[in-house]
Amino acid sequence: MKKLVVASNNKGKIKEIKEILKDKYQVVSMGEMGYAGDIEENGETFFENALIKAKTISEFFGCDALADDSGLCVEALNGAPGVYSARYAGEHGDDKANRDLLLKNLDGKTNRRAKFVSSIVLVKADGSVVQGLGETYGTIGYSEEGTNGFGYDCIFISDDLGVSFGLASDEQKNSVSHRYRGLIDLLNNL
Protein backbone atom coordinates (compact mmCIF):
# COMPACT_ATOMS: atom_id res chain seq x y z
CA MET A 1 0.00 0.00 0.00
CA LYS A 2 1.33 3.42 -0.95
CA LYS A 3 2.38 5.76 1.87
CA LEU A 4 0.78 9.19 1.99
CA VAL A 5 2.20 11.89 4.26
CA VAL A 6 -0.37 14.32 5.67
CA ALA A 7 0.85 17.84 6.34
CA SER A 8 -0.77 18.10 9.76
CA ASN A 9 -0.25 17.28 13.41
CA ASN A 10 -3.96 17.74 14.25
CA LYS A 11 -4.79 14.39 15.83
CA GLY A 12 -8.51 14.60 15.04
CA LYS A 13 -7.86 15.43 11.40
CA ILE A 14 -5.23 12.69 11.03
CA LYS A 15 -7.60 10.13 12.58
CA GLU A 16 -10.37 11.04 10.13
CA ILE A 17 -8.11 11.00 7.08
CA LYS A 18 -6.63 7.63 8.11
CA GLU A 19 -10.11 6.16 8.53
CA ILE A 20 -11.47 7.55 5.26
CA LEU A 21 -8.42 6.50 3.17
CA LYS A 22 -7.62 3.23 4.99
CA ASP A 23 -8.34 1.07 1.93
CA LYS A 24 -6.23 3.19 -0.44
CA TYR A 25 -3.21 4.56 1.45
CA GLN A 26 -1.00 4.07 4.46
CA VAL A 27 -1.56 7.52 5.97
CA VAL A 28 1.13 9.00 8.22
CA SER A 29 1.40 12.46 9.73
CA MET A 30 4.32 14.78 9.08
CA GLY A 31 5.24 14.34 12.76
CA GLU A 32 5.36 10.56 12.40
CA MET A 33 7.74 11.12 9.48
CA GLY A 34 9.99 13.31 11.62
CA TYR A 35 8.93 16.82 10.62
CA ALA A 36 8.85 18.77 13.87
CA GLY A 37 8.40 22.33 12.64
CA ASP A 38 5.28 24.40 12.23
CA ILE A 39 4.11 25.48 8.81
CA GLU A 40 2.88 29.05 8.65
CA GLU A 41 -0.60 29.22 7.17
CA ASN A 42 -0.65 32.72 5.75
CA GLY A 43 -2.94 32.15 2.80
CA GLU A 44 -6.20 34.02 2.37
CA THR A 45 -8.22 30.96 1.33
CA PHE A 46 -8.55 27.35 2.42
CA PHE A 47 -6.96 26.28 -0.87
CA GLU A 48 -3.93 28.57 -0.43
CA ASN A 49 -3.29 27.27 3.09
CA ALA A 50 -3.65 23.63 2.05
CA LEU A 51 -1.28 24.20 -0.87
CA ILE A 52 1.34 25.85 1.38
CA LYS A 53 1.26 22.89 3.78
CA ALA A 54 1.25 20.13 1.16
CA LYS A 55 4.01 21.77 -0.90
CA THR A 56 6.22 22.27 2.16
CA ILE A 57 5.99 18.62 3.19
CA SER A 58 6.27 17.25 -0.36
CA GLU A 59 9.44 19.24 -0.97
CA PHE A 60 10.89 18.41 2.46
CA PHE A 61 10.47 14.63 2.07
CA GLY A 62 10.47 14.38 -1.74
CA CYS A 63 7.21 12.45 -1.72
CA ASP A 64 3.48 12.82 -2.27
CA ALA A 65 1.96 14.96 0.50
CA LEU A 66 -1.64 15.73 1.29
CA ALA A 67 -3.00 18.68 3.23
CA ASP A 68 -6.44 19.69 4.36
CA ASP A 69 -7.33 23.23 5.28
CA SER A 70 -10.82 23.46 6.58
CA GLY A 71 -13.07 25.53 8.71
CA LEU A 72 -16.53 26.66 9.66
CA CYS A 73 -18.31 29.40 7.75
CA VAL A 74 -21.34 30.97 9.43
CA GLU A 75 -23.82 32.97 7.32
CA ALA A 76 -24.79 35.49 10.02
CA LEU A 77 -21.10 36.26 10.59
CA ASN A 78 -20.34 36.89 6.91
CA GLY A 79 -18.51 33.58 6.59
CA ALA A 80 -16.49 33.88 9.81
CA PRO A 81 -14.59 32.25 11.34
CA GLY A 82 -13.59 30.81 7.92
CA VAL A 83 -9.84 30.40 7.42
CA TYR A 84 -9.35 31.61 11.00
CA SER A 85 -11.45 28.78 12.48
CA ALA A 86 -8.58 27.18 14.43
CA ARG A 87 -7.50 30.53 15.87
CA TYR A 88 -10.83 32.37 16.03
CA ALA A 89 -10.44 33.27 19.72
CA GLY A 90 -6.77 34.18 19.28
CA GLU A 91 -4.72 31.15 20.27
CA HIS A 92 -4.35 28.42 17.64
CA GLY A 93 -6.13 25.21 18.57
CA ASP A 94 -8.10 26.39 21.65
CA ASP A 95 -11.30 24.61 20.62
CA LYS A 96 -13.33 25.57 23.71
CA ALA A 97 -12.46 29.26 23.45
CA ASN A 98 -13.27 29.22 19.73
CA ARG A 99 -16.69 27.64 20.36
CA ASP A 100 -17.46 30.02 23.20
CA LEU A 101 -16.62 33.07 21.09
CA LEU A 102 -18.69 31.79 18.17
CA LEU A 103 -21.73 31.19 20.39
CA LYS A 104 -21.29 34.65 21.94
CA ASN A 105 -21.09 36.27 18.50
CA LEU A 106 -24.29 34.47 17.45
CA ASP A 107 -26.20 35.50 20.57
CA GLY A 108 -29.52 36.98 19.51
CA LYS A 109 -29.12 35.99 15.85
CA THR A 110 -31.88 33.90 14.31
CA ASN A 111 -29.93 32.84 11.21
CA ARG A 112 -27.64 30.09 12.44
CA ARG A 113 -26.95 28.46 9.05
CA ALA A 114 -23.38 27.29 8.59
CA LYS A 115 -21.18 25.02 6.55
CA PHE A 116 -17.91 23.25 7.06
CA VAL A 117 -15.55 23.62 4.09
CA SER A 118 -12.54 21.41 3.37
CA SER A 119 -9.96 22.13 0.71
CA ILE A 120 -7.80 19.07 0.10
CA VAL A 121 -4.55 19.41 -1.84
CA LEU A 122 -2.21 16.65 -2.93
CA VAL A 123 1.22 17.75 -4.09
CA LYS A 124 2.96 14.87 -5.81
CA ALA A 125 6.69 14.25 -5.68
CA ASP A 126 6.94 15.57 -9.26
CA GLY A 127 5.40 18.89 -8.16
CA SER A 128 2.01 18.38 -9.79
CA VAL A 129 -1.04 19.46 -7.78
CA VAL A 130 -4.43 17.80 -7.44
CA GLN A 131 -7.21 19.31 -5.39
CA GLY A 132 -10.57 18.38 -3.95
CA LEU A 133 -13.29 20.40 -2.27
CA GLY A 134 -15.91 19.26 0.19
CA GLU A 135 -18.71 21.03 2.03
CA THR A 136 -21.34 19.93 4.52
CA TYR A 137 -24.24 22.04 5.71
CA GLY A 138 -26.02 22.55 9.00
CA THR A 139 -26.84 24.98 11.75
CA ILE A 140 -25.06 26.15 14.87
CA GLY A 141 -26.72 24.93 18.04
CA TYR A 142 -27.22 26.98 21.18
CA SER A 143 -25.03 24.79 23.37
CA GLU A 144 -22.54 21.95 23.10
CA GLU A 145 -24.00 18.51 22.39
CA GLY A 146 -21.81 15.42 22.60
CA THR A 147 -18.12 14.80 23.07
CA ASN A 148 -17.18 13.09 19.81
CA GLY A 149 -15.08 14.78 17.17
CA PHE A 150 -13.10 17.98 17.73
CA GLY A 151 -13.18 21.69 17.03
CA TYR A 152 -16.71 22.95 16.41
CA ASP A 153 -18.26 19.47 16.03
CA CYS A 154 -20.32 19.60 19.22
CA ILE A 155 -22.14 22.80 18.18
CA PHE A 156 -22.59 21.97 14.46
CA ILE A 157 -25.92 20.24 13.81
CA SER A 158 -25.58 18.36 10.54
CA ASP A 159 -28.41 18.65 7.99
CA ASP A 160 -27.54 15.13 6.81
CA LEU A 161 -27.58 13.49 10.24
CA GLY A 162 -30.03 15.66 12.19
CA VAL A 163 -27.67 15.73 15.20
CA SER A 164 -24.46 17.49 16.11
CA PHE A 165 -21.22 15.96 14.89
CA GLY A 166 -20.41 15.74 18.61
CA LEU A 167 -23.21 13.17 19.01
CA ALA A 168 -22.44 11.32 15.76
CA SER A 169 -20.23 8.25 15.64
CA ASP A 170 -16.98 8.45 13.69
CA GLU A 171 -18.58 6.34 10.94
CA GLN A 172 -21.63 8.61 10.73
CA LYS A 173 -19.59 11.80 10.60
CA ASN A 174 -17.08 10.38 8.13
CA SER A 175 -19.90 9.44 5.75
CA VAL A 176 -21.13 13.05 5.33
CA SER A 177 -18.35 15.35 6.51
CA HIS A 178 -16.69 18.09 4.51
CA ARG A 179 -13.38 16.24 4.83
CA TYR A 180 -14.87 13.00 3.49
CA ARG A 181 -16.44 14.85 0.56
CA GLY A 182 -13.21 16.71 -0.14
CA LEU A 183 -11.16 13.51 -0.11
CA ILE A 184 -13.64 11.77 -2.44
CA ASP A 185 -13.52 14.77 -4.77
CA LEU A 186 -9.70 14.63 -4.72
CA LEU A 187 -9.66 10.88 -5.48
CA ASN A 188 -12.06 11.48 -8.37
CA ASN A 189 -9.62 14.08 -9.76
CA LEU A 190 -6.57 11.78 -9.68
Q: Annotated catalytic, 126?
A: no
Cα separation values, 109 from 49, 71, 112, 142, 145, Å: 30, 20, 7, 11, 19
Distance between CA 102 and CA 84 in Å, rounded?
A: 12
Distance from the first to the final alpha carbon of the chain: 17
Catalytic one among 68, 69, 153, 185? 69
Provide the 3-class DSSP secondary structure of residue 40.
Answer: coil
- Enzyme catalytic residues: 69
